[in-house]
Amino acid sequence: MTTHVLILCTHNSARSILAESMLNHLAKRMGQDVCAHSAGSAPSGRVNPIALDVLRDAGVDTSNLRSKSWDEFAGSEAPPVSIVITVCDSAAAEVCPVFIGPAARPPLKIHWGYPDPSNTLGDDGAKRSAFEVTRQAIAAQMQRLLTLPLASMSRAELAAALVEIGR
């Protein structure tokens, strides 16, 4: 059974897009039945072009990426999301979206914050470097998530493992 993971950030243009892409890319490479989605509480309507560049440079398919609203994941037609990961940076006083999800099947919720590479000052090289560092940090956590025996873990075991990955 596929494990669906929803990754949220406010604008769904950089960090959540990087996380969705890396989780799907790594799951496919590792033969894991995991499907990542991303969304925002106030989507920008566009994916940051530097995010797309660093993903493509890492060999990740970006053809289906788009900035979208979390409303797509709240209805009865939405995939059965098991895990919701917020990726905003609470250290920078960003307001992270709070996804309730369907009452019949509430997902586990976890926060793995990353600084927003879109806010990096400097030239294109500095910005690109910030996106690549963020992509690599996200990839490391997603790889750890994919090593978990998701199908056989209890909800409490999974919640504890997700907290540990986020440390």
Active site residue 96: yes
88 tagged catalytic = yes
Which of the following is catalytic: 9, 23, 51, 83? Answer: 9
Of the candidates 30, 7, 4, the residue with the CA atom closest to the CA atom of residue 146: 30
Residues β-bridged to residue 85: 7, 110
Annotation says 35 is catalytic: no
**How far is it, in rounded angstroms, from Cα 3 to Cα 35?**
6
Q: 3 is written with which tokens?
A: 């494990």
The type of residue at 72 is E
Determine which one of 74, 96, 137, 159 is catalytic: 96
Catalytic residue among 88, 145, 148, 150: 88
Per 3-state DSSP, the chain is made up of helix, strand and coil in percentages (nearest 5) of: 45, 15, 40
What is the DSSP secondary structure assignment for residue 75, as one 8-state letter? Answer: S
Task: Tell me which residues are annotated as active site.
Answer: 9, 88, 96
